[in-house]
Amino acid sequence: MYAPAKGSAVLPSASGLGRIGIRGEDGPHPLFESLACLTCAARKSAICGGLDNREIRDLAAASHRINLKAGETLVWDGDPARYSYVITRGTLRAQKTSGDGRRQILDFLFAGQFIGIPSDEAHHFDAEALTDAEVCRFERRTLEQLMAKYPAVDKGYRTGAARQLETAYDHAYALGRSTAMERVAAFLLDLHASSCPKTSAGVLKLPMTRGDIADFLGLTLETVSRAFSRVRSLGVIGLPSPQEVEIKDVQKLKALAGAAGL
């Protein structure tokens, strides 16, 4: 049974799958939060990486930590966009679902990435926790005030947003012009360079299923499975378990990825 940290408020999850613990106004002192920021996995992210101690302290004081259990939904497509979120632990997936139930995964979000403020007043996708996760939540107006007060916060936010846009463009190109092999190879390269969980030996620990990968790459489950097997048969990767990938030859994997550029 999940229990939130002492001093946390508890709200029902929008998904109905569990409860979400939120550090409220009566939660930890801002000094504690700023100290926690020093060891946070997102400390070197685009938003936080360029901040000095005072800026980190103010950013921490404006944030609320939200703990998610795997399967809980943080935001729904169409929800009012009152907040921005920085992932500090775990993995989320951003996705859209059509009226007839077809799903397209738009991105996998790891520690250091964020769900930003859209141009209008609503979110345009669901964000669901693939694993147990933690995010820092910022009220929209407060974040905009911090961006106006601290140029480093504004620059970090814009840099992160630009990177996500560039990644989205690369992904759109790959979906239209790359083969299944190129898409899978480029996907593994992207995970290798990201904050995707890894063992001490550098083996990728995939938080997503083959079905998730298929829905991200615009392929069938069978095609993804065949592509993984083919890349392994070439000696480029190892598959210690269904959720682990050992990249044995990065240069050969880059060659297989071609111009996919995910």
pLDDT in the model for residue 116: 85
Of the given ranges (39-48, 156-165, 183-192), which has the lowest mean pLDDT? 39-48
* pLDDT of residue 76 exceeding 80: yes
What is the number of domains present in the chain?
Answer: 2
Both 150 and 21 in a single domain? Answer: yes
Residue 173 lies in a domain: no
Both 23 and 148 in a single domain? Answer: yes
Distances 18 to 4, 6, 183 between C-alpha atoms, Å: 12, 18, 35
Both 197 and 112 in a single domain? Answer: no
Determine the average pLDDT of the residues in 58-65: 89
Question: Of how many residues is the chain composed?
Answer: 262
Both 233 and 152 in a single domain? Answer: no
Note down the domain range covering 227.
178-257
Residue 220 lies in a domain: yes
Domain closes at, from 108, 130, 162 = 162
From 52, 93, 68, 81, select the one nearest 15 (Cα to Cα): 68
- Under the banding of pLDDT at 50, 70 and 90, the label for residue 32 is very low
Determine the average pLDDT of the residues in 134-155: 92
Pairwise pLDDT comparison (148 vs 177), residue with the higher score: 148
Distances 245 to 201, 205, 209, 215 between C-alpha atoms, Å: 11, 7, 12, 19
pLDDT in the model for residue 14: 40
Note the helical H segments in 7-139: 30-38, 53-61
Residue 2 lies in a domain: no
Determine the average pLDDT of the residues in 54-83: 92
How many angstroms separate the CA atoms of 183 and 95, rounded?
Answer: 18
Greatest alpha-carbon pair distance for the chain in Å reads 56
Residue 152 CB coordination number (10 Å) = 18
pLDDT in the model for residue 43: 74
Mean pLDDT, the chain, whole residue set: 84
Domain closes at, from 120, 135, 162 = 162
Both 149 and 193 in a single domain? Answer: no
Both 144 and 205 in a single domain? Answer: no
Question: What's the half-sphere exposure (Cβ side, CA atoms, 13 Å) at 112?
Answer: 18
- CATH label of the domain that carries residue 253: 1.10.10.10
